[in-house]
Amino acid sequence: MTSNRNPLYQTALIAALSAGLLTLGFGVAAVDAKPRKAAAAPQAPPILATDWIKVDPDNLLVVDTSRGRVLVELYPSIAPKTVERIKVLARRHFYDGQTFFRVIDQFMAQTGDPTNTGAGGSDLPNVPAEFEFRRGPDFPLFPVTADGPAVSGFTGAMPIVGQSDALMNVSATGTASAWGSFCSGVAGMARAGAPDSGNSQFFFVRQNSTSLDQKYTAFGRVLTGLDAVRLIKTGEPVALPQDSMTRVRLASDLPDGEVVKIARINPASAYYRFQIERLRDAKGSDFSVCDVDILTNPNL
């Protein structure tokens, strides 16, 4: 069969199809003349006044250092004996003037030794290890990741890792193993080789150091002042002059007229959930609880 179409027309039609200028469907040709608009990025929900949680002043450690003030929220729910020891020593003014004698860049800053050698401590007996705790169904955990038998999330600002709710439900005690994870700013109890050798020394991790998980007791987290922690002079040991803690007090024990308060955002709030999901999408399979920043407000 022969065609009666003009050969020049056929050549132009073939060229247009090859260039993507025409699309054919059911014998109809169409020209895509208007570019499509990109979908608008979803907007974060507003932060509501009810999204902020005021930190209990009896669990707020005010650490004044030569580099600035550091506010640490203590978590007796995961390390009760360790937190009690920190409180007792703070109320004795034991930590005032003590130096950061061992500081490793990209890792941690250690303090709390009156001998400044790493071998000293208080006159109190050692504290037993609290590397893990048992989490029941009433434990306030906001989950961030769940991977089979494991879960991670937050209680307050403290990152928590441990066994999933599914394992909790089949446990004889109705609980699951969990532990504080050493993300940036987490405070841990220093110790010697024996697990139960913690006494007075503690450290702040300057960068994510989750290799310490289940090997050291995590008892608190820096809410503000991590920049000051990261400015502390490094060394093993630190050469003189050393940075120091000039004063360590619980916010509830500060003198009359000196009020320190801070609020942190509820991790279950719509705004925070939105930010977590956005981070999860950006990081993909590399996402972890340590990627989530703490949001605080000192004005409440």
Q: What is the pLDDT of residues 222-231, one digit of tens each?
A: 999 999 999 9
Q: Does some domain include residue 8?
A: no
Q: Does some domain include residue 4?
A: no
Q: Does some domain include residue 146?
A: yes
Q: Does some domain include residue 12?
A: no
Q: Does some domain include residue 165?
A: yes
With tokens 């991977």, the residue in question is 147
Q: Stretch 94-123: mean pLDDT, rounded?
A: 96
Distance, CA of 136 to chain centre: 22
Kindly provide the residue ranges of all beta strands, DSSP E only, lying in the chain, ordered along the sequence.
23-25, 28-30, 52-54, 60-65, 68-74, 102-104, 108-111, 133-135, 142-147, 150-155, 158-163, 176-180, 186-189, 202-205, 217-224, 245-250, 263-265, 296-297
With tokens 């303090």, the residue in question is 111
- Strand 202-205 versus strand 108-111 pairing type: antiparallel
Average pLDDT, the chain: 89
Q: Per 3-state DSSP, what percentage of the chain is helix, strand, and coil (rounded to 5)?
A: 25, 30, 50
Q: Does some domain include residue 279?
A: no
Res. 270: pLDDT tops 70: yes
The Cβ of residue 43 has, within 10 Å, a number of other Cβ atoms equal to 7
Interacting residues of 106 by C-beta distance below 8 A, sequence separation 6+: 206, 207
Q: Does some domain include residue 173?
A: yes
Q: How confident is the model at residue 42 (pLDDT cuts 50, 70, 90)?
A: confident
Res. 9: pLDDT tops 70: no
Encoded tokens for 200: 């007075």
Residue span of the structural domain in which 67 resides:
58-259
Q: Stretch 92-117: mean pLDDT, rounded?
A: 96
Res. 179: pLDDT tops 70: yes
Share of the chain above pLDDT 70, in %: 87
Task: Tell me how far apart the terminal alpha carbons of the chain are, to the nearest angstrom.
Answer: 86
- Strand 142-147 versus strand 133-135 pairing type: unpaired
Interacting residues of 216 by C-beta distance below 8 A, sequence separation 6+: 131, 182, 188, 189, 190, 191
Side by side, which strands form the sheet with 296-297? 52-54, 263-265, 296-297
With tokens 């987490």, the residue in question is 186
Is 227 or 17 the better-scoring residue by pLDDT? 227
Q: What is the pLDDT of residue 38?
A: 63
Q: What is the pLDDT of residue 273?
A: 94
Q: Stretch 194-204: mean pLDDT, rounded?
A: 97
Q: How confident is the model at residue 20 (pLDDT cuts 50, 70, 90)?
A: very low
Q: What is the pLDDT of residue 35?
A: 61
Res. 212: pLDDT tops 50: yes
Q: What is the rounded CA–CA span in Å between residue 165 and residue 162?
A: 9
The CATH number of residue 241's host domain is 2.40.100.10
Domain count, the chain: 1
Share of the chain above pLDDT 90, in %: 82
Q: How confident is the model at residue 21 (pLDDT cuts 50, 70, 90)?
A: very low
Q: Does some domain include residue 203?
A: yes
Res. 79: pLDDT tops 80: yes
